[in-house]
Chain A
């Protein structure tokens, strides 16, 4: 090939590609920007990305998975309603059998019918030891699940477990596809097929997940035909791309959401949550394990200032895992900020103020370390504020940053700024956080909390099917927690979202610790309708 012919070929190729580029750019269908008033597509910016889209590995376990449905679903008021089941379950007299009747008009998006076998397959696969589902602990109550014909499923539990129905919002996977491949790494983990309102069109890891409406959805085809979740980890970039019109909505930290307050085309939503921040006070630490120190810290800490300064007002003071706004919260267990009271408690218990302002008792200095997760600004702020409040009461808390690898081996004796929160049932958070049998079990009961009265009430709360009995049990738990605070609960955090008002006023659910993917105003995007 001569130099001339190479040059000629290159020029032709360049011209060709330029023409192609121009054609693609001028194609009006190639990208429908949100600024164009397009109400059939929505793009939202989220901060977290799922590791897998397979429910068998934990995707969508709390409901709202878009691609899938559970037997039950949770509505805007957090009440359970039937989804793939035709009604709420029948619970056996002893609380250990749950019977679900299934809808008979549901098809997976590949056209194959949904049946009881898929439900049995889903639950059995998750519980299988070979399945790498890190959330399987949540289904620990199940002894067996069996199908009775095509339209009935019966769960048998190891012990009476009142919150069980809440767990069955878990999405159902199709046996005919997922059952034929490696559950941990097969194609189903990234190209799932479900019964849900949306179908997956593309998942570009680290960039975005795109959905299109399922025209045959059993609960009616969604009006928003195209839905995209753009994964943007950086808060500032997300805010910028929202402002630039690249996104229709996004989750934002409160301070960045403020910038959109006066924007006429956008609305700010503040979703209340169960997402708490707490300080573990490990029982094995001589100082933090002392009841007087725990009670003193509980009143020495200024929760309202934390809400104002750290959360920009988007949150509430927390006195336990149950938020003050919940029907399960025990009124009267709020602790007011009272530094004098803290001093009195410590004086009475014999913690004397030393020369450096730090109290001592029997030669033990009132001092312990408090760890927080490296890089988590919110936890760092909470930890520093907590330490500064404690200092005023004469307790010296040394804050230290570390990764979980560094923190975990120290959890038995060192305090940790922890977070968590699962809405739905009061059992979910309180049992794993406070039950002495779970002390030091993975990340359960990190503070090694041990209170026989609480243990008893927790068992009563999960076993009774009667709401009044349950309320009484959780009242006991929260009153005991006020008397013996093994954790200092600081705040419940609101999750703030900014969304174009193309779809009118949207709603939010009460949200868990994880947020943005299944929750946010797009928790029910399949029901969104353009404003007339």
Chain B
């Protein structure tokens, strides 16, 4: 187990290198001009001299490889550079926003897992039953629905029609202290939408896994021995039916990140995803590179976590190698 973890972490370094270089290369090839993005409307009245000065100050006229190498060497020493779009050090931008994103993503993830598991187990008990048919078709529909569309729909219904939940932001626009109650009520809609949009995968996996497990010999055996339905379902079938879902937990991380990106934008949630979009369209290399490293690391860790969980839950699987 420790060996697998060590090997994976060793493997992560070259992956991160390639990914950051890819980000620099793609951003350099993009048609967006970082100087224009930096100057904004003022750039439309600025003289060429001012624009050239900005270009030199921002260091965006140097070759791609040199910029990447410079970013990499200072990042290794802990200096992530300055974000041009936020006018602040990258480390500040990330520490200020990461927490809100983690809160949103974790709440949504927990919601998705709980909801997906509960509904999956319930549906698996009677495949083809009313609950199964309703939830399954809803799950397939949700699977196809884009998260931002669900978000807009939720704003329209809960914020505009019913007026029961705030439409966006972290707190009410009139208040500037961040209280628990304010954040909690503002978290409901975005987390619910993100959670519900992730739910179908968990639901479908659990439903299938548990339904299959119910057909397996040990479960039949347990039933034959006269154990209660409850014990059979939760003690035997659930446990082996959950195995595929453990893999899923890790592999859903990338989807969760992209989902959060759209949801944060729709709900003006001041998380890291909104900064990512801005960094990308403004070709803000230092911020973009740091965020990409974070996202890549999250994906790699997610995969590692699911493999570890799988290995722990089912000793037959073992740890690779």
A binding-site residues for B, Cβ under 8 Å: 17, 20-25, 27, 30-34, 41, 43, 45, 51-52, 54, 57-58, 129-130, 132, 134-138, 140, 182, 184-185, 187, 189-190, 201-202, 204-208, 210, 226, 228, 230-232, 237, 240-241, 244, 246-247, 403-406, 420, 422, 432, 438, 441-444, 513-514
Of all chain A residues, the one with the shortest Cβ separation from B277 is A206
B279 at the interface (CB under 8 A from A): no
When distances are taken between beta carbons in the complex, the residues of chain B under 8 Å from A184 are 57, 82, 87
A135 to B86: give the CA distance in the assembly, Å.
Answer: 18
A43 to B180: give the CA distance in the assembly, Å.
Answer: 22
B268 at the interface (CB under 8 A from A): yes
A58 to B40: give the CA distance in the assembly, Å.
Answer: 11
A51, B173: Cβ atoms closer than 8 Å: no
A420 to B41: give the CA distance in the assembly, Å.
Answer: 9
B binding-site residues for A, Cβ under 8 Å: 31-33, 36, 38-51, 53-54, 57-58, 82-89, 160, 163, 167-170, 172-177, 179-182, 184-185, 268, 270, 274-275
A405, B180: Cβ atoms closer than 8 Å: no
A32-B174, A442-B51 known; A405 vs B181 contact (CB < 8 Å): no
A241 to B268: give the CA distance in the assembly, Å.
Answer: 14
Of all chain A residues, the one with the shortest Cβ separation from B82 is A185
B46, A230: Cβ atoms closer than 8 Å: no
When distances are taken between beta carbons in the complex, the residues of chain B under 8 Å from A406 are 31
When distances are taken between beta carbons in the complex, the residues of chain B under 8 Å from A422 are 45
When distances are taken between beta carbons in the complex, the residues of chain A under 8 Å from B45 are 135, 137-138, 420, 422, 432, 442-444
B50, A190: Cβ atoms closer than 8 Å: no
When distances are taken between beta carbons in the complex, the residues of chain B under 8 Å from A514 are 41
When distances are taken between beta carbons in the complex, the residues of chain B under 8 Å from A132 are 38, 54, 57-58, 84
Report 26 cross-chain contacts, Cβ distance below 8 Å, ordered by A residue: A24-B179, A27-B181, A52-B87, A130-B57, A134-B39, A135-B46, A137-B46, A137-B49, A138-B45, A185-B87, A185-B88, A206-B274, A207-B268, A208-B173, A208-B176, A210-B176, A230-B169, A237-B167, A237-B168, A240-B167, A420-B45, A422-B45, A443-B45, A443-B46, A444-B45, A444-B47
A43-B174, A201-B176, A237-B167 known; A21 vs B85 contact (CB < 8 Å): no
A25, B44: Cβ atoms closer than 8 Å: no
B180, A24: Cβ atoms closer than 8 Å: yes
Of all chain B residues, the one with the shortest Cβ separation from A45 is B173
Given contacts A31-B182, A134-B43, A442-B45, 20 further A-B contacts (CB under 8 A): A20-B180, A21-B184, A27-B181, A30-B177, A30-B179, A30-B181, A30-B182, A41-B174, A45-B173, A134-B39, A137-B45, A190-B88, A201-B176, A207-B169, A207-B173, A207-B270, A403-B32, A442-B43, A442-B46, A443-B45
B175, A190: Cβ atoms closer than 8 Å: no
B32, A442: Cβ atoms closer than 8 Å: no
In angstroms, how far is the closest chain A Cβ from the Cβ of B165?
12
Enumerate the 5 nearest inter-chain pairs by beta-carbon distance, A residue then B residue, closest first.
A24-B181, A134-B39, A210-B176, A134-B42, A185-B82
A78 to B85: give the CA distance in the assembly, Å.
Answer: 33
A30 to B185: give the CA distance in the assembly, Å.
Answer: 13
When distances are taken between beta carbons in the complex, the residues of chain B under 8 Å from A208 are 169, 173, 176
A441 to B51: give the CA distance in the assembly, Å.
Answer: 10
A403 to B37: give the CA distance in the assembly, Å.
Answer: 11
B181, A23: Cβ atoms closer than 8 Å: yes
A134, B180: Cβ atoms closer than 8 Å: no
| Most-contacted residue by chain A among B85, B160, B175 (CB, 10 A) | B175
A443, B43: Cβ atoms closer than 8 Å: yes
B181, A21: Cβ atoms closer than 8 Å: yes
When distances are taken between beta carbons in the complex, the residues of chain A under 8 Å from B44 are 404, 420, 443
A54 to B86: give the CA distance in the assembly, Å.
Answer: 12
B50 contact from A136, A189, A405, Cβ within 8 A: A136
When distances are taken between beta carbons in the complex, the residues of chain B under 8 Å from A32 are 174-175
A25, B174: Cβ atoms closer than 8 Å: no
A31-B172, A444-B47 known; A205 vs B54 contact (CB < 8 Å): no
In angstroms, how far is the closest chain A Cβ from the Cβ of B282?
10
A132 to B82: give the CA distance in the assembly, Å.
Answer: 13
Of all chain B residues, the one with the shortest Cβ separation from A212 is B176
A447 to B199: give the CA distance in the assembly, Å.
Answer: 56
When distances are taken between beta carbons in the complex, the residues of chain B under 8 Å from A41 are 174
A205 to B275: give the CA distance in the assembly, Å.
Answer: 9
In angstroms, how far is the closest chain A Cβ from the Cβ of B269?
8
When distances are taken between beta carbons in the complex, the residues of chain B under 8 Å from A137 are 45-47, 49-50
